[in-house]
Amino acid sequence: MLYSEKVMDHFRNPRNVGEIPDADGIGEVGNAKCGDIMKMYLKIDDDIITDVKFETFGCGSAIATSSMATELIKGKPVSKAMELSNQAVVEALDGLPAYKLHCSVLAEQAVKAAVKDYYDKNGIAYDPELFADDDDDEHGHE
Ligand code: FES
């Protein structure tokens, strides 16, 4: 079996699909190679991510990883979302085939883009290094 049961589960029944109209942070990212797009919405109260939803136009792994990413950050402080790595998402899904790892990178980037949007909108200072774009490295090895 190429995909773990968890991947198939999150692909078939993605959690937290949709949009949050009054989101506090919205992140949209895409992968130029495959053309997949991910949009992440965060509702944040008192530094806690009280709600998170996503819309993904992409492959099954992109859907499964964005679904898992929402589960991992929901109810957590914003700082936890910033620590979310694509490896953590992959581990939570019991693995992904190597050539699908870039899909999980997209999920990590979407979450971080949404946090950045939240910081920007609220005038919260942050280290730009945290959001350094490392696209080329991460997507180069498919
Ligand atoms: Fe593009 Fe999976 S193939 S995100």
Per-residue model confidence as pLDDT tens digits over 46-90: 999 999 999 999 999 999 999 999 999 999 999 999 999 999 999
Q: Which domain holds residue 95?
A: 5-120
Does the residue 131 lie in any domain?
no
Return the structure tokens found at 9: 């589960």
The Cα 127–Cα 129 span in angstroms is: 5
The Cα 37–Cα 74 span in angstroms is: 21
Does the residue 136 lie in any domain?
no
Does the residue 135 lie in any domain?
no
Distance (Å) from CA 63 to ligand 1 centroid: 9
Distance (Å) from CA 75 to ligand 1 centroid: 27
Does the residue 137 lie in any domain?
no
Does the residue 134 lie in any domain?
no
59 assigned to active site: no
The Cα 32–Cα 35 span in angstroms is: 5
Does the residue 132 lie in any domain?
no
All residues at 6 or more sequence positions from 118 whose CB lies less than 8 Å from its CB, including other chains: 24, 25, 42, 44, 78, 124
The burial class, CB within 10 Å (0-12 / 13-18 / 19+), for 141 is exposed
The predicted structure's pLDDT at residue 121: 97
Q: Please, what is the average pLDDT of the chain?
A: 93
Give the domain CATH number at 80: 3.90.1010.10
Return the structure tokens found at 131: 């959001």
The predicted structure's pLDDT at residue 16: 98
Q: Is 37 in the pocket of ligand 1 (CB under 6 A)?
A: no
Question: How many structural domains does the chain have?
Answer: 1
Does the residue 129 lie in any domain?
no
